Amino acid sequence: MAKPLTSHRPLLAVSLKLSALVLFTLMQALVKVLSADFPTGEMVFFRSLFAVPIIIGWLLYRRELSQGLVVKKPMGHFWRGVLGTSAMFLTFTGLSLLPLPEVTAIGYATPIFTLILAALMLGERIRMIRIGAVAIGLLGVLIMIWPRLGGNNLDTAATIGALCVLAATIARGFVQIHIRQLVQVDHPAAVVFYFSITATLLSAVSAFWGWIMPTWEQALILVAMGLLGGVAQILVTSSYRYAQASMLAPYDYTTMLFAIVIGYIWFDELPTLVMLGGAALVIAGNVLVILRERQLGLDRGKDKSVTDPKA
């Protein structure tokens, strides 16, 4: 979906990226608002369905729709869709059970798991700096989820929520591996387009287990979830036309600030010091990887531009 870097305009790139991250965080807040009244599958359906027209319109504007319809590895797109949809289901479940900042913080572990999976599945070499980054990141994850796993609380809703978000993070790691393989043979537009279609179809199956008829107000919120997700995906993709991925990657962590503000205003949630400490370690591990890749001159802009949409 993203074209190669067209010009170096860092201020525009950062503005696009931050706007996308704000919209993604707002979308997650809307999911949390509705999570008490609607089944997860129904919310995933609306999130996916109403992102489709936004993405199709963007592909038409970029004259890339034809490229987005032709694929050489259809089964690869199918499994990418299954994994991405599963991650969305798990994240939405976690949002219904955990504070928004905590879901955001655990989600930062995705690059760490991607690095591990890349070594196991793609044979990528991990040297000492990256091994250290993985160790720091995993320690941070353990610190964040340990309060949810300790004592006699293994059957509590919060424990289930933490495990769901952690599982979603691992699933997104698998998604990244699939994307790296798919973009070698198919246009990035195809990766984005077929994920949206697959997620819509797969989530529609959940209707057999019962959906709830929304009120007009609730229907507007459900539609807004999809529109926010679609627009945010376009903004984050566009940002990589004006700056390298390694430059923009650290801005991902501003979502913690957005999540803390929105969580406090909407849900009266505040992060704990333990959660913030764990999140800091995960971020530190990710920053080590970013710095190492910058040092090696690795540009993963193509991969980053089609990463799994924030759930």
Q: How far apart are CA 224 and CA 215, in angstroms?
A: 14
Domain assignments of the chain as residue spans, ordered by start: 10-304
Residue 54: closest CA among 207, 306, 226, 187: 226
* Crossing angle of helices 216-239 and 188-204, rounded to 10°: 160
Q: Please give the mean pLDDT across all residues of the chain.
A: 86
Q: How far apart are CA 309 and CA 311, in angstroms?
A: 6
Under 8 Å between Cβ of 144 and 106: yes
Under 8 Å between Cβ of 178 and 83: yes
Q: What pLDDT, in 10s, does the model give residues 11-42?
A: 898 999 999 999 999 999 999 999 989 999 99
Q: How far apart are CA 260 and CA 263, in angstroms?
A: 5
Residue 50: closest CA among 223, 236, 284, 262: 223
Q: How far apart are CA 291 and CA 14, in angstroms?
A: 18
Confidence label for 2 from pLDDT (cuts 50, 70 and 90):
very low
Q: Which residues contact 70 (CB under 8 A, 6 or more apart)?
A: 186, 187, 190
Rounded to two decimals, the pTM is 0.88
Q: Is the pLDDT of residue 248 over 90?
A: no
Q: What pLDDT, in 10s, does the model give residues 96-122?
A: 999 999 999 999 999 889 888 888 887
Q: How far apart are CA 94 and CA 115, in angstroms?
A: 23
Q: Is the pLDDT of residue 61 over 80?
A: yes
Distances (CA, A) of 76 to 104, 113, 123, 127, 169: 28, 20, 19, 29, 20
